[in-house]
Structure 1
């Protein structure tokens, strides 16, 4: 396909167009990393609290994922839909999300700045929200060719802000570049030109075709007197469910303890068990199957399930999370493979 054909629409390929935003995930992270040199004012700040205001569902899920992955934190953090009354000079207020016309978020940034709070925006890079932000608001750019939501931008933008409070800018940039490398390595495997036998994203999309989908992970059991461990699978599952549902695919998150119960009830309500079903009067009755994606596991013993794990078991929790979330995002771009 030539570039002219792509942009003119003469050879319009919906799958390639949908994958365009996904293909920028690595670049989104590198753009955040390049901007860390402007975050020096945060170094050593003693914030009373950090307030995150997401403007959309995926941004909220990304914020909650970041908090889960890097907890415990030295500051109280909240994810909320409105600016708390207590916000003042000792607080950091972050607006994150893709909506360019979120008037309430614009007013929240302006109000927080007037109260003396430090403000930051991880937004669309254009539009009223970006234009109305106070002059001293930390504002992250986006790659010039990117257009659309980016879970990786939300996650790494938040990480850049939080890390910059306690760590040197070079160290923060190096960590972000490591995450960008992980996203790019995953994207090489996720190219739409690769079929489901070698593309884990395509395999994921094909597995869930025409099905109701549950996203879950496995809970890590440990003694109560030990610090809580990071559960990458559950963190990714929550965020992946939001990404899928906002991009038109079936996807809801369930705690792992609830999944067997739901699977059992689904089997009980099958058409073969419906005593009132008459194939002559009701016609052919098609059932929507229930499929389970288990994130952060190499294998799953659940029926009708597919395990999704990182390719390298020695990676850090954050690297693994970025890889898996990139895979979840990419799966929403593919068409279901046609059978030969």
Structure 2
């Protein structure tokens, strides 16, 4: 991979030449996506979702960039709801799904093969069906055939990696309508405000020293990152960040959530990619990436953190905070560079919005800095994948 060229991010003409679909602009519209999705969803009768009753269980069928919706629903439902949620959009509908259950099938284009098939099969079994995607599509047809509900997205929305909020907001509103989870509308509007504020911070014409996304991209260009969340919300954000770095920036990553992943992360910190021949953060301050080539293979730890617990916080939050700090301290002691970013206090959805906005912009800046179009990847078209499997 070519050395990271930070001047590509500051030169508008060269930046647009690499970012051919203006992915940065699409990400900057995340807050507007939330508000537009609320407006579009309000046009539908959500009392029809699961016939207005709370379903026994929810199964989510989504693939590619839409999978993040499954992760967020799982985060929220598992913490506050007695309803079971499963997610798998790349195979047949689970055998246990029946008339008491809700199947949520999501596809930006409405043509992703397995979500469409699962929605059709759910209808045949008499399950409740909710679909989210393009207004005129096989997915919408599957919902109609099942006498379910189809929530249409804005036809002008880009690809699924930049359309997270267009897909997530209808799912949250529908889940709230049928009693699966309680997400007040004010929380979604608060998340929209945060996304707007983050887009302003991460705008392309903001200098590195005031643009955390550009700075983080520059830092990640020097390491092979492990992305670690210190709790449920940050762990979900870490999973999204890992997917975005791989798909958008073509950077291989692994991710985990504390405390579950503490042992494997600490083990990696004493492995062959940890540390280096130099002291401090493992970087040679005299190395010139243009003359000597980019440093490759050195491990870095990107730690996504919740706000520091207060005296009134549950003891489990303080335990997670302390575990995260001990992992960070151990990483630094072994010469692994530690990059930490924290969400501002707020609802789970708002904190998720904070962190995802940062890592979405960072992934895009990282791709552009390496001269890679963030919207496309050579070779994907030649893979033998199910039809529209990446949407």
Q: What is the TM-score of this pair, normalised by structure 1?
A: 0.77
Q: Could you tell me which of 102, 119, 123 is aligned with 1:92? A: 102
User: Are residues 1:66 and 2:73 paired?
Assistant: yes
What RMSD over aligned residues (CA atoms) do the two structures have, in Å? Answer: 3.4
**Match among 169, 172, 176 for residue 163 of structure 1:** 176
Partners of 1:241 and 1:124 in 2: how far apart? 26
The CA deviation at 1:166 is 2.7
Match of 2:114 in 1: 104
Mapped contact 2:273–2:298 kept (Cα < 8 A): no
1:221-272, CA deviations, whole angstroms, 9 ceiling, x for partnerless residues?
A: xxxxxxxxxx322221122212221222332213233222212103569689
2:83 to 62, 72, 75: 75
| Displacement of 1:68 | 1.8
1:308 to 332, 336, 341: 341
Instruction: In structure 2, list runs of 5 or more residues that go unmatched.
Output: 1-12, 279-291, 308-324, 372-391
Displacement of 1:133: 4.4
Which residue matches 1:250?
252
Report the equivalent of 2:230. 218
Match of 1:291 in 2: 300
Q: Distance in 1 between matches of 2:254 and 2:181?
A: 38
- The reply on whether 1:173 has 2:206 as its aligned counterpart is no
Cross-structure match for 2:355 = 324
Residue 126 of structure 1, CA deviation:
5.7
Please say if residues 228 and 302 of structure 2, whose CA atoms lie closer than 8 Å, have aligned partners that are also in contact.
Answer: yes
Alignment of 1:178-217 (within 5 A): 178-217=190-229
User: Closer, same or farther in 2 for the Cα pair 1:208/1:240, shift >3 Å?
Assistant: same
Q: Hey, what's the Cα distance between the residues in 2 that align with 1:200 and 1:103?
A: 38
Q: What is the aligned length?
A: 305
Point out where structure 1 has 5 or more consecutive residues left out of the alignment. 1-8, 220-230, 273-282
- In structure 2, what is the Cα distance between the partners aligned to 1:319 and 1:40? 26
CA-to-aligned-CA distance 1:253-292 (integer Å, 9 cap, x gap)? 13233222212103569689xxxxxxxxxx9996422211
